[in-house]
Chain A
């Protein structure tokens, strides 16, 4: 994976196509991006005037770069496959929800449920993410430069959530096999989520994730959290924890 700056340089060499969302509407913009052939030469797009509208650049399935020139509303970059989506502002609830592959980067903060149910790809939030970040994540990697709110990684099944700031209450409640790395304080851990030993293997993986996210942080400053695997099947001895 080429770092972002290199990608942007590469893109700048190509013609960047600007679309005005205020003129074309969300459907107009999205259908132009959806109908691109896989081997398209139109690989770099800039969406102007996003004005907080919902579902911008959703359901993309092509190796293109799409820049959103401002603040986005709900579900921006949802269901993304292959594309690199750069949001130059705040992202509303459910950014990159159910992403399959590709990259979504948010320059600002993100509202709740960022990366919800994501299957793959990388979501980078430079600022803070609100509650339920990575809820039910299924393989996505999420790197947050700031803090995450309560109930983050709730029922998280697979993938990684890296938090460079703090985590709110009930982190990783009812977690399955996702791995959580937090640098700051954790308000509380949810049911069945425990702190785990950071091995060289985990340090190396975390370093790769931070590198890919282009966020400078020392992996050794982080703690790792994951599942105690006691709630996978119903057990009467754990009835209080359900």
Chain B
């Protein structure tokens, strides 16, 4: 099961309504994934030289301000923090490796769920509607957003096992399906120095993409390599800095639908998630072909 949804606004005038337009899309997929939900939203790009980190902690009362102050004095760089639910967006001009290694040493219980210039990732167990409310996404402005509703079949129902999974700067992945070679692949990727927080199959796909991108592959090359190396059933939606990409396995039995108007492009596991968008009745609608990379945005 699981539901995945993505919305990319071609018309910038709609950007103030991104969170509002996306809400019914995610909620409509509740029946496909009632146990957890998550979104990656692209908004408020950080200034040049700055990176936004999406951090999460299981304790809703965790002292994020204290963490930011300590990070500031440790790195001697600018650090600002905004708490949203049990997540926080930390913006800093410190080097990414310096931040992640400091967090690992001083706050091993804080999870880095994403990082980049524009991406913010929020994910949590619970009904999609509750998760959406918790992170105050209904009023969110932004350029594009992808989301996931999870019905766990393959690993535990935990916040860490929820999607999206970060795959690199401003990149993340949501997945509908299940991978069959993830255990072997995980061991291979561990040898390449990648670290894992869960036993989840999608985390392995995300780590695989992170590894490929680090080696210098383009997003398209990475997805093409993934079609060869990832075995199993999948429809992936990949959030990128300025859009999203959709790819399906060669058998393409996990549902997917794309719709496009002059104002937006949307993808979803089922069309009913898209039906709520303005102009959906007149949209061009089609099922994406297998092993074909569909990409919106400049990449």
Beta-carbon nearest neighbor of A129 in chain B:
B287
**A131, B271: Cβ atoms closer than 8 Å:** no
Interface string of B264-299 (1 = CB under 8 A from A): 000000111111100011000111011000000000
Given A70-B281, A109-B287, A150-B290, are A131 and B252 also a contact pair (CB < 8 Å)? Answer: yes
Q: Is the CB of A89 within 8 A of B281?
A: yes
Give the number of residues in A that approach B within 8 Å (Cβ atoms): 23
In the bound complex, residues from chain A placing their C-beta under 8 Å from that of B255 are 93, 111-112
Question: What B residues does A90 contact at CB under 8 A?
Answer: 257, 271, 285-286
Contacts of A149 in B (CB 8 A): 252, 287, 289-290
List, sorted by A's number, 12 A–B pairs whose CB atoms are closer than 8 Å: A51-B275, A51-B276, A71-B281, A90-B257, A90-B285, A109-B285, A109-B286, A112-B252, A130-B252, A131-B253, A131-B290, A149-B252
Bound-state CA distance A168–B292 (Å) is 13
Interface centre among A52, A92, A109 (most CB of B within 10 A): A52
A184 within 8 A of B: no
User: Is A128's beta carbon under 8 Å from chain B?
Assistant: yes
A189-208 at interface with B (beta carbon < 8 Å): none
Q: Is the CB of B287 within 8 A of A130?
A: yes
- Which of B271, B286, B289 meets A73, CB within 8 Å? B271
Tell me the minimal C-beta distance from B134 to chain A in angstroms. 27
Contact present for B287 and A89 (CB under 8 Å): no
Binding site for A on B (CB under 8 A): 252-253, 255, 257, 270-276, 280-281, 285-287, 289-290
11 more A-B contacts (CB under 8 A) besides A73-B272, A92-B257? A51-B276, A52-B273, A52-B274, A71-B281, A92-B271, A108-B285, A111-B257, A111-B287, A112-B287, A130-B289, A149-B252
- The 6 tightest CB contacts between A and B, nearest first, are A52-B272, A52-B271, A130-B287, A90-B285, A51-B275, A52-B275
* Chain A 106-147: CB-based contact to B (< 8 A → 1; otherwise 0): 001101100000000000000110110000000000000000
Q: How far apart are the CA atoms of A51 and B25 in the complex, in Å?
A: 12
A89, B290: Cβ atoms under 8 Å? Answer: no
Q: B272 and A89: CB pair below 8 A?
A: no
Which chain A positions have C-beta within 8 A of B270?
52, 54, 73-74, 92
| Chain A residues whose CB sits within 8 angstroms of the CB of B286 once the complex forms | 90, 109, 127-128, 130
State whether the Cβ of A53 lies closer than 8 Å to any Cβ in chain B: yes
B281: chain A residues at CB < 8 Å are: 70-71, 89
* Chain A interface main SS type: loop
With A and B bound together, what is the CA distance between A130 and B287 in angstroms? 6
Task: Report the nearest A residue to B256, measured CB to CB.
Answer: A111
Chain B min CB distance to A87 (Å)? 12
What is the bound-complex CA distance between A35 and B253, given in angstroms?
A: 35
CA distance A89 to B270 in the complex (A): 15
User: CB-nearest residue of chain B relative to A128?
Assistant: B286
Contacts of A111 in B (CB 8 A): 255, 257, 287
B249: min CB distance to chain A, Å: 11
Interface residues in A155-180 (C-beta closer than 8 Å to B): 168
Interface residues of A in 64-109 (CB under 8 A from B): 70-71, 73-74, 89-90, 92-93, 108-109
A100 CB, nearest partner CB in chain B, Å = 25
Tell me which of A74, A89, A112 contacts B285 (CB under 8 A).
Answer: A89
Q: Which residue of B lies closest to A90 (CB)?
A: B285
Query: Within the complex, what minimum Cβ distance (angstroms) separates B258 from chain A?
Result: 10
The distance from the CB of B274 to the nearest CB of chain A, in whole angstroms, is: 7
Q: Are B253's CB and A112's CB within 8 A?
A: yes
Residues of A within 8 A of B273 (CB): 52
Most chain B C-beta atoms within 10 Å of own C-beta, residue among A70, A74, A111, A128:
A111
Nearest Cβ distance between residue A71 and chain B, in whole angstroms?
6
Chain B residues within an 8 Å CB radius of A93 = 255
A-chain residues with CB within 8 Å of residue B274 when the two chains form the complex: 52
List, in ascending order, chain A residues with CB within 8 A of B257's CB. 90, 92, 111
Residues in B with CB closer than 8 Å to A150 are: 252, 290
Give bound CA distance, A92 to B290, whole Å. Answer: 16
| B276 closest partner in A (C-beta) | A51
Which residues of the other chain, B, contact A70 by a CB distance below 8 angstroms? 275, 281
Task: Name the distance in Å between B213's Cβ and chain A's nearest Cβ.
Answer: 29
Contact yes or no, A71 B275, CB < 8 A: yes
Of all chain B residues, the one with the shortest Cβ separation from A151 is: B251
A163 vs chain B, min Cβ distance (A): 15
Q: Whose C-beta in chain B lies nearest to the C-beta of A51?
A: B275
